[in-house]
A and B are shown apart, each in its own frame.
Chain A
Amino acid sequence: MPIDLRGPLGLTLALLPVVLLTAWSLVVMLVVAWRHGSEADSRLAGWLSVAGILGAAGATLWLWLAGAESAGQPHMVYLDEYRFVSELLILFIAGATCLLSLRFLGKQRLLAPEYYVLVLFATIGMQLMVASADFILLFIGLEVMSISVYVLAGFDRFRRSSAEAALKYFLVGAFASAFLLYGIALVYGATGQTHFILIGQQLAGSDRSLLARMGLALLLVGFAFKTAAVPFHMWAPDVYDGAPTPVTGFMATGVKTAAFVALVRVLADAFPTFASLWQPIIAVLAVASMVVGNVVALAQGSLKRMLAYSSIAHAGYLLVGVWTATDMGRAAVLLYLIAYSITSLAAFGIITAVERVGSRTVMLEDVEGFFRVRPWGALSMGVCLLSLLGFPGTFGFIGKWYLMTAAIDRNQLLLAVVMGLGSLVSLGYYLPVVMAMTMKPERTPDAHRQVLFSRAAKAIIAVAVLVNLLFGVWPRKVVDLALSASQHMSAQTARRPAGDR
């Protein structure tokens, strides 16, 4: 189904999932303005948000199955499988975050249903980021997402650590946005374009001007901050630790997915001719992230901090896929984003359930003896940690396997080896959690009395664990999906004619 992106009607159709969710989030905001007193009202807002997200996912699926593609001129948004798959992943993350928060907000006395409205706004920003084919739209999506997440990080404002996390995230995020913007400005100055593909065509025809090179460097700094790659990661552990746990899960998965998809797009479409310039930078970032993330995670006692450092290491793994600049590599990035997001969400969901009222975080000692009291919960956590580790038979292994294969295909053994060693080191911090859960007795007899899994959270965690195991042993379908998505993406890029907008 070709869609003409020049007219307002075509653009609305191409952005239908975003438009629907925006309209619905305004409705939810109105509902919340009237009903915001009790826990029931908060839960109503949560279920309304889930309904809106399902609607947006339906619209995305419809566009995908109808074979939507742009007719003629390139314009603001992409219409290809890569976008649809990543958009569905983001909607899944948002829906799961809402479901995991349902009981949490009541438990922690955070009775402000605006929480769900902010999650919806952040989701809209992420959708725009993965759909954008133009720096203007990318910037707006990024800011809509970031500003909502700043507030979410500080949502538990009566707790000092949450407010600190929000301030830290806000200052670092605004600082990073300014770098990204200056990069956009310089690239615009070098080419006169803000559209990725048109920039790529302009840059292919000319020699590498200083402006474009500086612009690319500044863009990479901005993206490195947003994806929490070493050495731009200092904010991540404190922010992940201080934010309310479901929000941490949302940041670690949704923000990362959106930023990585945007990064892949920018490098593939706007700077394909600059590969010899950005590949070394990405490789350094990847190695540094894998080493620092994995090593520092060993020393963490708090589970949230440990997962924060492990998410830095996972950003490093993903950067290996970005480095390859091949269809295979881009497919591996998408595949790993799916595996990592689903697994991390479930892990943070379980930590959410374990967390005590008013407590700052969950320490390793707090999960001792968890298996005896909650066997299914402990088992799910074990599967998630093994998948993050990349244990054979889980989805995480498949993701890592394809990332490594993509790197080896480009004759880059070093990155693949560092990745393998990093995974080996990560045994040292994932296994102690499993051992604490299964082999040690509870600290106190009523240690796990406050553990609270809502039915919705149970369902989400069960789905995540089953998907993990299913794709771990039978990955054909999802691998084919990622491969065809990334081939579709590069085919669309190649097909597009030159021309002014």
Chain B
Amino acid sequence: MPPDLLGPTLALSGILFSIGVLGALLRRNAIILFMCVELMLNAVNLAFVAFARYYGFGGHVLVFFVMTVAAAEAAVGLAIMLALFRHNQTLDLQDINLLHG
């Protein structure tokens, strides 16, 4: 039986998620923002894998779904960014006024 790594793994997952959230809130470039969201999703995957050691296959199944969905999201997201880049010649969100309510 390997040593119990649940605590450290969860801590790492929480740190990764927080880095993702902070990056998504602070950075202004759409690509970087998207990478931060991907980081958040991977933090979630890490948490699922850690819990799945205790509870069985349910967590592993979810990890695969998350990866598939993230890939689909990337395909659509990059296409949307390309469409916008043709208009603006930039992906800087300062110029796009993203948070203007």
Contact = CB atoms under 8 A, between A and B. Distances in A.
Pair from one complex? yes
B81 A167 contact: yes
B69 interface: yes
A163 B84 contact: yes
Contact of B87 (A135, A150, A163, A170): A163
Contact of A143 (B54, B72, B97): B72
A234 interface: yes
B51 A139 contact: no
Interface string A144-163: 00010011001001001001
A160 B97 CA distance: 12
A194 interface: yes
B51 A189 contact: yes
A178 B88 contact: no
Given A147-B73, A164-B96, A188-B48, A175 B37 contact: yes
B98 A168 contact: yes
A39 interface: no
A185 B47 contact: yes
Interface residues of B, number: 44
B44 A182 contact: yes
B100 A143 contact: no
Contact of B37 (A140, A171, A185): A171
Contacts of B81: 167
Given A147-B76, A178-B20, A185-B48, A167 B55 contact: no
Contacts of A166: 80, 83-84
B58 A170 contact: no
Interface in B28-45: 30, 33-34, 37, 40-41, 43-44
A415 to B, nearest CB: 24
B18 to A, nearest CB: 11
A160 B24 CA distance: 23
A201 to B, nearest CB: 15
Nearest to A230: B101
Interface residues of A, number: 38
A217 interface: no
B75 to A, nearest CB: 9
A298 to B, nearest CB: 15
Interface string A208-239: 00000000000000000000000001100110
Interface of A: 135-136, 139-140, 143, 147, 150-151, 154, 157, 160, 163-164, 166-168, 170-171, 174-175, 177-179, 181-182, 184-186, 188-189, 192-194, 233-234, 237-238, 296
Given A151-B79, A178-B20, 12 more contacts: A160-B88, A163-B86, A164-B84, A166-B83, A167-B30, A168-B96, A171-B33, A171-B98, A181-B66, A186-B47, A189-B47, A234-B99
16 contacts: A139-B69, A143-B72, A150-B77, A154-B83, A157-B83, A160-B87, A171-B24, A171-B30, A171-B77, A175-B24, A178-B40, A178-B41, A181-B41, A182-B47, A186-B47, A234-B99
Interface of B: 10, 17, 20, 24, 30, 33-34, 37, 40-41, 43-44, 47-48, 50-51, 54-56, 58-59, 61-62, 65-66, 69, 72-73, 76-77, 79-81, 83-84, 86-88, 96-101
